[in-house]
Structure 1
Amino acid sequence: MPTETTTAPATAPGSRVARRHGPAAAVLIAETRLFLREPGNLFWIFAFPSVLLVILGFIPAFKETQDDLGGRRVIDLYVPISILLAMITAAVQAMPPILTAYRERGILRRMSATPVRSSALLCAQILLHGAACLASALLVTTVGRIAYGVALPEHLPGYLLALLLAVGAALTLGSMICALSRTTKAATAFGTGAYLVMMFSAGVWLPVQTMPDALRRIVEITPFGAASQALEQAASGSWPGWIHLLVLALWTAALGSAAARLFRWQ
């Protein structure tokens, strides 16, 4: 699973990078360097979803069209599911331990005595993990297309909107875990529990579209259940259901506002 970053951010206000680019940009540059030095996080967020898709493609039944899926194949459904897996991993397994470690070790408190705002660190982490999720989505889509002939999203604007809302919901969930966790161990425990629940709701073990009606209706009110449905609908050529987009937007707003109120820098 993703590994915790243990190196402190190089954000001294008098550094050459800070003077040249500004404090916030210096934080982003430093965090980017640290992020790229973590092969565990890079593998689980960027590479593993595509690896999982390739492995699932070896199951013959997954490559056969099914009437109850509207002529689609199970492997077609697993492209958006694999994309969501990257978001879940980044949001609840990778990001929370990093930020709680910074708080636990007093890094955020020391930053408050410099021109660098602690919020710049949070924004940098959200940008980095969001970018990693989008890069993983592009890789998964490419692998699905080349390896198994999965069609590209037919309704691209709707697909991109659902994708961005899903990233927002995922990262605000991660921010909420950071806000609730006082220690790195607590963040890891919260993250692991959320990871298992979110994997189920995203359809990793059983695609949402194949769930019994009662279970599917319950799952669709979760952020990743709604995201799975919205992405699949856009991939099939339809505009994502407004109810699914609304669920994603409401989760993003609710989790984001709660995390902002509860988050403590020390």
Structure 2
Amino acid sequence: MSALSRLTATETRLFFREPVGVFFVLAFPPLLLVILGAIPAMREPDTDLGGTRPITLYVPIIIVMGLALFALNVLSQMFATYREKGVLRRMRTTPVKPQAMLGAQLLMSTILSIATMLAVLLIGWLAFDVGLPRQLPAYLVGYVLAALAMFALGLLVASVAPNGRAAGGIGMLLFFPVMFFAGLWVPRDAMNDVLRTISDFTPLGAGVQSLQDATAGHWPQLLHVAVMLGWTVAAGGLAARYFRWE
């Protein structure tokens, strides 16, 4: 635990030395919510959305966007870069094994993504009167399952990418479709039946619906829990199969 704590602190310091990355994964999601909330139409009930205000729907969407940015950009690029530069290979000759680096990266990403989630929830609540989750345990379950699915996908990208630049490119290619089906461009409530069904079987589509259900006071649906667990097992298993330390 001591080695893990020190590695996590070191990796966090290194992360904050990259201002562009810090902005996009930490500051951009809350800023996007503020920008959307500044649009009057986003704060008014929309009949096409069943009378729901669009800003209410965008809070969970922006929260999972933070997870996607961490998983597909930070986590995948860091591991691919460390392997490319021989950092993981050299670590195998020290008492601190590469697995500790994996744990440190996951712990850092989890802590910082939770901070982003809290910032988005508070801004939505204080600035735009978006209700806080009525079923907090269910909300945490949905968030953790979405995080596991996305981090597993990020590690899969890191396992197949030959270098950090390629990991960044693959991550961005995946980011846009997963966020489309999460509802970033068209909220799930406004999707037609075909798109919503496809969204139900994507990690963040299931994640967004689980967070919406928990906000309304319900537990996540079994379908969405199964989808997120399935992505975690499938992507995590492939990542473990193909990941190379050097």
Q: 1:22 to 1:143 in 2, by over 3 A?
A: closer
Task: Pick from 203, 217, 240 the counterpart of residue 183 of structure 2.
Answer: 203
Report the AA paired with residue 174 of structure 1. Answer: G
What is residue 71 of structure 1 aligned with on the other side?
51
Q: How does 1:177-216 map to 2 (within 5 A)?
A: 177-216=157-196
Q: CA offset at residue 23 of structure 1?
A: 3.4
Identical residues among aligned pairs (%): 42
Question: Residue 207 of structure 1 aligns to which amino acid in structure 2?
Answer: P
Residue 104 (str. 1) matches residue 81 (str. 2): no
Q: Which residue of 1 aligns with 2:148?
A: 168
> Which protein has greater RCO, CA pairs closer than 8 Å, 6+ apart?
2
SS in 1 for 2:38: coil
- Give the Cα separation in 1 of the matches to 2:187 and 2:36: 13
Matching of residue 222 in structure 1 with residue 214 in structure 2: no
Question: What's the offset of the Cα at 1:22?
Answer: 4.2
Query: Which aligned pairs between 1:15-164 and structure 2 lie closer than 5 A?
Result: 22-164=2-144
Query: What is the rounded CA distance, in whole Å, between the counterparts of 1:164 and 1:226 in structure 2?
Result: 12
Q: Which has the larger radius of gyration?
A: 1
Check whether the contact 2:4–2:103 (CA below 8 A) recurs between aligned residues: no
Please provide the CA RMSD for this pair.
1.4
TM-score by length of 1: 0.88
User: What CA distance in whole angstroms lies between the structure 2 residues aligned with 1:146 and 1:51?
Assistant: 14
Offset of residue 143 of structure 1: 0.3
Q: What is the SS of the residue equivalent to 2:142? A: helix
Match of 2:27, as an amino acid? A
Point out where structure 1 has 5 or more consecutive residues left out of the alignment. Answer: 1-20
Shift of 1:255: 1.2
SS in 2 for 1:41: helix
Residue 152 of structure 1 aligns to a residue whose secondary structure is coil
| Counterpart contact for 2:181–2:198, Cα < 8 Å | no
Task: Report the Cα distance in structure 2 between the residues aligned to 1:150 and 1:24, rounded to whole angstroms.
Answer: 37
Residue 243 of structure 1: which of 223, 226, 234 is its match? 223
TM-score by length of 2: 0.95
**C-alpha distance in structure 1 between counterparts of 2:73 and 2:150, whole Å:** 11
Partner amino acid, structure 2, of 1:126: L
Separation of aligned partners in 1, 2:230 and 2:59: 25
Q: How far is 1:70 from its partner?
A: 4.2
**In 2, Cα distance between the equivalents of 1:237 and 1:67?**
22
Q: Which has the higher helix share?
A: 2
**Which amino acid letter does the alignment assign opposite residue 49 of structure 1?**
P
Q: Distance in 2 between matches of 1:27 and 1:190?
A: 26
Superimposed CA distance per residue, residues 192-223 of structure 1 (whole angstroms, 9 cap, x where no aligned partner) = 10111112111111111210011100111000
Q: Output the CA distance in 1 between the equivalents of 2:213 and 2:46.
A: 16
Task: Give the residue type in structure 2 aligned to 1:96.
Answer: S
Q: Deviations over 1:139-189 (max 9, x none)?
A: 000000111100111111111110111111111110000001111221111
Contact 2:207 2:228 in 1 (8 A): yes
The 1-side partners of 2:5 and 2:35 are apart by: 39
- Taking the aligned partners of 2:225 and 2:170, their CA distance within structure 1 comes to 26
Instruction: Report how far residue 113 of structure 1 moved.
Output: 0.8
